[in-house]
Chains A and B, each alone.
Chain A
Amino acid sequence: MSSTSTAPNSTEQPLIVMGAVEKWFGTFQALRSVNLSVSKSEKIVLCGPSGSGKSTLIRCINHLESYQKGKIVVDGVSVTDNQKAIDVVRQEVGMVFQSFNLFPHMTVLQNCMLAPIRVRGSSKQEAEATARRYLDRVHIGNQADKYPAQLSGGQQQRVAIARALCMQPKVMLFDEPTSALDPEMVKEVLDTMIGLAQDGMTMICVTHEMGFARQVADRVIFMADGMILEEAPPETFFKSPNHPRAKQFLGEILAHH
């Protein structure tokens, strides 16, 4: 079954705690007794075959999905069906999607300014300054006045990262951020994520980019059938996976690399 662990160097309370989380879609059980604890600045890579519950797991953290049993606590706030608690948690948790999901009727800059103004109550000037700072940081500051459709996929995904960062979240969730990209654009997005990791952001990434996992992950978590089957530091996980399903999975994806 699953196990709970924290990064070895952590002394404070974990930032995210999931305890015995169970989730059903109708009669299909998507998460089975998931336990996970993530410390501040920790980088987690979640992998596993499709339908294993990875995306569902991270979508429960900011309550894009509800769950039926167990508990999730983010930075001391319990994510229940209480809308106030959910609102608080969403302010602290940034999310990047596979399909970017930029708002197409707004410029890049407006995309980045919307949430700080509407949620944090920032002034326009503050929001714009923050937006420009993060757009520069993802090396796209010179495209601020363009519309998303005028950008490449890789550029759009970097804007999506900047948009999430503008809320100055404590955690960033990445849901297969490079899966919809053409191969030549994967690197620019991964480099952005690596930069973020080096700056100490707490990150949970659902990804099949094993090079990225090796380089930045503190722990790799392997899921199948809604369960966490294995978690280990990347070098251990890639060299000597324990669970047969993990061995099979690694065999399949590494065959293409």
Chain B
Amino acid sequence: MNVVFGFKEFAFLLTGLKWTVLLSLIAFAGGGIMGLLVAVARTAQSAALRRAMILYIAVFQGTPLLMQLFVVYYGLGLVGIQLPAWAAVAIAFTLNASAFLGEIWRGAIQALPRGQTEAATALGLPLVSRLRDVILPQALRIAQPAAVGYAVQLIKGTSLAAIVGFIELARAGQIVSSQTFAPILVFGVVGAIYFSLCWPLSLYSARLEAKFAAAG
């Protein structure tokens, strides 16, 4: 009668893990790229654009992610846009991540000495080259510790997607736990899986930092 936590249950956790990883990747990549637009708009010449971005960032940083998930998931449904759960969740996470990563990018870009942009400009480099060759490579190094820290938060934060019925790692753990009545064991395993995702990232980040520091 009682299900024992065995291979089949572990495999079920791994399918949840697959979604956790996918969702994290989508949110980080989407949020990173959208964040770049947010950062550019946040520092634009146009005051209207800047103010709009300040509002955008305030809303997404200042309200719970859980609420944002509800709004996107059920809200889009109410206005007649039917999206699969994973797509709605991906959109919500991307928007949320863009507000945080956008500010991380902005801080890093503004931390660069003005002379870098001036020298690139004086050489006649077009905007795309100024960004790609001069500004972003330096800004990414500055942003890296904060961005990796955010990525780690994001991986764990994807567990909130369970609330709209999305079966990622935490939700899968919950299901297995209620089948096996072995919550300590199951959530212990779930925790270990999260840890094995996040810890290497943190380690890698520390390594990179040391490498950049050595390169001067």
Contacts and interface: CB of A to CB of B under 8 A. Distances in A.
A103 B124 contact: no
A119 B123 contact: yes
B125 interface: yes
Given A99-B113, A105-B138, A105-B141, A91 B122 contact: no
B133 A114 contact: yes
B126 interface: yes
B124 A91 contact: yes
A83 B159 CA distance: 49
A173 B141 CA distance: 31
Interface residues of B, number: 20
A164 B141 contact: no
Interface string A98-125: 0111111100000000110011000000
A238 interface: no
A212 interface: no
Contacts of B215: 105, 147
B122 A119 contact: no
Interface secondary structure of B, over-half rule? helix
Given A104-B216, A114-B133, A90 B118 contact: no
Contacts of B123: 90, 114-115, 119, 163-164, 167
B119 interface: yes
A236 interface: no
B61 interface: no
B118 A118 contact: no
Contacts of B121: 64, 90
A10 interface: no
Contacts of A115: 123-125
Contact of A103 (B116, B122, B141): B116
B129 interface: yes
Contact of A87 (B118, B126, B134, B137): B126
Nearest to B130: A118
B115 interface: yes
A167 B216 CA distance: 27
A208 B125 CA distance: 30
A93 to B, nearest CB: 8
Interface string B144-181: 00000000000000000000000000000000000000
Nearest to A99: B115
B139 to A, nearest CB: 10
A28 to B, nearest CB: 19
Contacts of A102: 119
Interface of B: 113, 115-116, 118-126, 129, 133-134, 137-138, 141, 215-216
Task: Give the 8 A-B residue pairs with the shortest CB-CB distance, closest first.
Answer: A101-B119, A90-B124, A149-B216, A101-B115, A115-B123, A95-B122, A118-B129, A119-B124
Interface of A: 62, 64, 87, 90-91, 93-95, 97, 99-105, 114-115, 118-119, 147, 149-150, 160, 163-164, 167
Given A150-B216, A163-B123, 11 more contacts: A62-B122, A94-B122, A97-B115, A99-B115, A101-B115, A101-B116, A103-B138, A105-B138, A114-B125, A114-B134, A118-B125
